[in-house]
Amino acid sequence: MNKSDSLSTSPKGGPVSDSVDTQRTDIPAVLVLADGRTYRGFGFGATGTTLGEAVFTTGMTGYQETMTDPSYHRQIVVATAPQIGNTGWNDEDGESRGDRIWVAGLVVRDLAHRVSNWRAARTLAEEMEKQGIVGIRGVDTRALVRHLRNHGSMSAGVFSGADAQRDTDELVRIVNEQPSMAGADLAGEVSCAEPYTVEPDGEHRFTVVAFDMGIKTNTPRNFAARGIRTVVVPAGTGFDTISSYSPDGVFVSNGPGDPATADNMVAAVRDVLAAKIPFFGICFGNQILGRALGMETYKLKFGHRGINVPVLDHSTGTVEITAQNHGFALKGEAGVEFDTDFGPAKVTHTCLNDDVVEGVALTNGLAYSVQYHPEAAAGPHDANPLFDRFVELMSTSSTPTEG
């Protein structure tokens, strides 16, 4: 058999399972943390400088979905999995409009230079170079992650090529001069500019208005599979505009930044609750609902990022393994019912690793949210029935809109 006979082919017809990254492998690079610690390695993807907050993700798979998740805007992601790039980059798994990469940079231990996946259209490094994303490989990510766990996520920069040769003190100064993630209002930077609609698969049952705080493409896809027409609107859209769509429900997506800055979104959600429109929120949407109910938020030391985070549902006693990406959380304690302007509410879910609040709800059932990603992509499907719960809530709370 000829070697070419055993090759897989991409959807475009080119052989990919044996494709090799042809980028230079000797480009010097350095990761610089705000506290002065440095990690040297070799650059890949684009060459130059990138700044952001250094965070780590524990996911063993799904780097393409992670990198295209708008929630990672302005974050330099450190992969705890030792080898990244094996499956290359395909044209199906992106989670943002236009498959844009949102991470500020990528830090890996061992970059796979040979792609082995039948869907891959190119290598990870090629896509990063195409989109101008700076990466560094050859870093001792075990030591780096331990440092971030001990000292917390912090401002950082990746400098490659000629930039990596600059004086270390100068690089530390550049890193520390960037804006902090605390107080950052980033949802508007990743949100859509104009509303758009995702039609249901098959018969139309309900219409949901979804606030795009950094929505992943798999969320409207989950709604569509359940007969829901999703009208995606920009972050900060006012309640009058929302009402004009006559929604059966309102949804607030995941997204980046500090929820303490999202006063306009909190006001909009309070209007939704006052109108008794069924509400569902995830991740950033959980923090927005919590604030609308009178709760406060705070910045976690190093956050939750990965696809294996255990969460306890206190209403059922069941444990779900969840996909998460958040650096902020709600202040609260499970089992404590509290009064709000919209009736009693309670903390419904907590993380089994550290007791962080992972879900809140009105006790009347009209509004609920979770801090994790039921749409996964990548990740487990334990929480996917939350979409079915929203359908049931809309079924019992309103008259379905006409198709």
287 is in an annotated binding site: yes
Q: Please say whether the beta carbons of 122 and 89 come within 8 A.
A: yes
- Count of CA atoms in the C-beta half-sphere (13 A) of 177: 7
* Assigned token pair, 207: 């219409």
Strands 228-234 and 206-212: parallel
The residues, any chain, with a CB within 8 Å of residue 157's CB and separated by 6 or more, are 31, 32, 49, 50, 51, 52, 76, 171, 174, 175, 178
Q: Please say whether the beta carbons of 11 and 128 come within 8 A.
A: no
Q: Which of 65, 95, 127, 375 is catalytic?
A: 375
Amino acid letter for position 195: P
| Residue 373 CA to its chain's centroid (Å) | 8
375 tagged catalytic = yes
176 is in an annotated binding site: no
* Assigned token pair, 113: 């230079």
Rounded Cα distance between 59 and 67, Å, is 12
Q: Which ranges in 296-341 belong to alpha helices (H)?
A: none
Calculate the CA dihedral of residues 65, 67, 68, 70 and round it to 10 degrees. Answer: 120
283 tagged catalytic = yes
281 is in an annotated binding site: no
φ, ψ for residue 119, nearest 5 deg:
-90, -10
* DSSP β-bridge partners for residue 191: none
Strands 279-282 and 367-370: parallel
Rounded Cα distance between 316 and 348, Å, is 9
284 is in an annotated binding site: yes
* Assigned token pair, 249: 């429900």
159 is in an annotated binding site: no
351 tagged catalytic = no
CA angle at residue 56 from 111 to 132, to 5 degrees? 55
Q: Which of 283, 304, 326, 349 is catalytic?
A: 283
255 is in an annotated binding site: yes
The binding site consists of: 71, 255, 257, 284, 287, 325, 327-328
Q: What amino acid positions are annotated as catalytic residues?
A: 283, 373, 375
The binding site for L-glutamine consists of: 71, 255, 257, 284, 287, 325, 327-328
